[in-house]
């Protein structure tokens, strides 16, 4: 079971929203699509779901086109949440489950288990409009996965959730992946993608500017971060050969360096100058990579 996106482009008139995107998501894999506002994430999802026509290229799921006949295999959490405010949680989910071919009793059993897991069993008979936004989102998530889809598409699943609920949802998503679901999700927040995904793609103005496994991406990037805590002046490192950026912090500095060798030069330079409490070489973060490739942070 693999989702394949082959050289897909989407144009709205003269505007290119997605520009030659290719990716594959096999079973049991979580794929993250990162990008700022207007990068093309939602457009990509809508094309996967067959809600938008593809201008060029192909999208397939197990080598077949995705259409309405496959909706029982696919779960979708849209960016604009869409539950019926006046309906009770139970009725809402039963309605959606039945649309996907489930029996009422099956839906209720699943729903009870999920509400319990999300620590809100009492919501069964509450109306959607009585719930907070974050809790509505939990219900919307349940509505996307109640039928145990094989392919799950989550558009900004963590936006608007507090840290406790983010963790709860992350665990649920990891469990679904381990049970065999292919998952693709979008986010503005790089730390979520960094934590959850084996493969990822950064979209910028519709173009995939970075793509691969997290490991590959970090390794091929080359640059490293170096954290130094020392009670001696470190300002001179600002102009040290191979130092790309210098940030002063309370106890010392944080540097971005061109490669590992630069850290050895710095290490030698500091020897004998005074006590160094911390000298730590770290992998670049996705945020570092994004800033380098796209030129801005997107918080
Ligand atoms: N139906 C449409 N008609 C015309 N332009 C569109 C349409 N849908 C999207 N676009 C444009 O395509 C580009 C990509 O939009 P998209 O919604 O895919 O971005 P996104 O990455 O999901 O952004 P966000 O994080 O803000 O939701 C944007 O420039 C947007 O204005």
Question: Does ligand 1 come within 6 angstroms of the Cβ of 41?
Answer: yes
Residues 6+ apart with CB under 8 A from 169: 138, 141, 157, 158, 161
Query: Ligand 1 atom 11: the closest Cα is on which residue?
Result: 17
Question: Does ligand 1 come within 6 angstroms of the Cβ of 284?
Answer: no
What is the tens place of the pLDDT at every residue in 76-122? 998 877 788 899 999 999 999 998 889 999 999 999 999 999 999 99
Find the 39 Cα to ligand 1 centroid distance in Å: 7
Question: Does ligand 1 come within 6 angstroms of the Cβ of 43?
Answer: yes
Average of per-residue pLDDT across 225-238: 94
pLDDT at 26 over 90: no
d(CA 98, CA 107): 8
pLDDT for 139: 94
DSSP, collapsed to helix, strand or coil, labels residue 260 as helix
Domains and CATH numbers, the chain: 3-218 (3.40.50.300), 223-283 (3.30.70)
pLDDT at 69 over 80: no
Can you name the residues that pair with 210 across neighbouring β-strands? 202
Question: Does ligand 1 come within 6 angstroms of the Cβ of 81?
Answer: no
The token pair that represents 285 in the structure block: 């973060």
Mutation pick for ligand 1 pocket among 42, 188, 209 (CB with most ligand atoms within 8 Å): 42
For the CA of 46, the closest atom of ligand 1 is 18
Question: Does ligand 1 come within 6 angstroms of the Cβ of 51?
Answer: no
Higher-confidence residue of 68 and 280: namely: 280
178, 29 in Cβ contact below 8 A? no
Higher-confidence residue of 165 and 188: namely: 165
Q: How far is CA 238 from the centre of its chain?
A: 34
214, 272 in Cβ contact below 8 A? no
DSSP, collapsed to helix, strand or coil, labels residue 263 as helix
The per-residue pLDDT of the chain, averaged, comes to 90
pLDDT for 250: 92
Query: Ligand 1 atom 4: the closest Cα is on which residue?
Result: 12
Find the 43 Cα to ligand 1 centroid distance in Å: 6
pLDDT for 297: 46
pLDDT for 299: 45
Question: DSSP states of 44-110 as a string?
Answer: HHHHHTTSS--SEEEEEETTB---GGGGGGEEEE-SS----TTSBHHHHHHHHHHHTT--HHHHHHH
Query: Ligand 1 atom 30: the closest Cα is on which residue?
Result: 38
Find the 206 Cα to ligand 1 centroid distance in Å: 9
The token pair that represents 72 in the structure block: 């029982």
Find the 53 Cα to ligand 1 centroid distance in Å: 14
What is the tens place of the pLDDT at every residue in 147-166? 999 999 999 999 888 999 99
pTM of the full predicted structure?
A: 0.84
Please report which confidence band the pLDDT of residue 296 belongs to, taking 50, 70 and 90 as the band edges: low
């Amino acid at each position: 079971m693999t989702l394949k996106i082959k050289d897909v482009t989407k144009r709205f008139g003269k505007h290119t929203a997605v520009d030659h995107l290719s990716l594959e998501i096999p079973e049991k894999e979580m794929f993250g699509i990162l990008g700022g506002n207007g990068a093309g994430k939602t457009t990509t999802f809508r094309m996967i779901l067959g809600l938008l026509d593809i201008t060029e290229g192909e999208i397939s799921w197990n080598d077949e086109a995705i259409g309405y006949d496959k909706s029982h295999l696919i779960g979708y959490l849209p960016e604009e949440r869409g539950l019926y405010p006046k309906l009770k949680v139970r009725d809402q989910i039963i309605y959606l489950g039945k649309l996907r071919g489930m029996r009422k009793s099956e839906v209720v059993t699943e729903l009870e288990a999920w509400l319990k897991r999300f620590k809100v069993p009492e919501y069964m008979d509450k109306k959607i409009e009585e719930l907070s936004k974050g809790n509505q989102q939990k219900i919307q998530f349940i509505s996307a996965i109640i039928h145990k889809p094989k392919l799950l598409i989550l558009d900004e699943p963590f936006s608007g959730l507090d840290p406790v609920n983010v963790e709860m949802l992350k665990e649920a998503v990891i469990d679904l992946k381990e049970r065999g679901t292919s998952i693709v999700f979008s986010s503005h927040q790089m730390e979520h993608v960094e934590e959850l995904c084996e493969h990822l793609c950064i979209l910028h103005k519709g173009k995939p500017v970075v793509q691969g496994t997290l490991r590959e991406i970090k390794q091929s990037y080359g640059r490293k971060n170096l954290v130094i805590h020392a009670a001696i002046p470190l300002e001179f490192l600002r102009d040290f050969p191979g130092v790309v950026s210098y940030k002063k912090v309370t106890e010392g500095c944080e540097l971005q360096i061109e490669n590992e060798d630069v850290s050895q030069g710095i290490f030698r330079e500091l020897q004998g100058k005074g006590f160094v409490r911390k000298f730590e070489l770290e992998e670049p973060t996705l945020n570092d990579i994004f800033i380098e490739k796209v030129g801005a942070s997107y918080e």
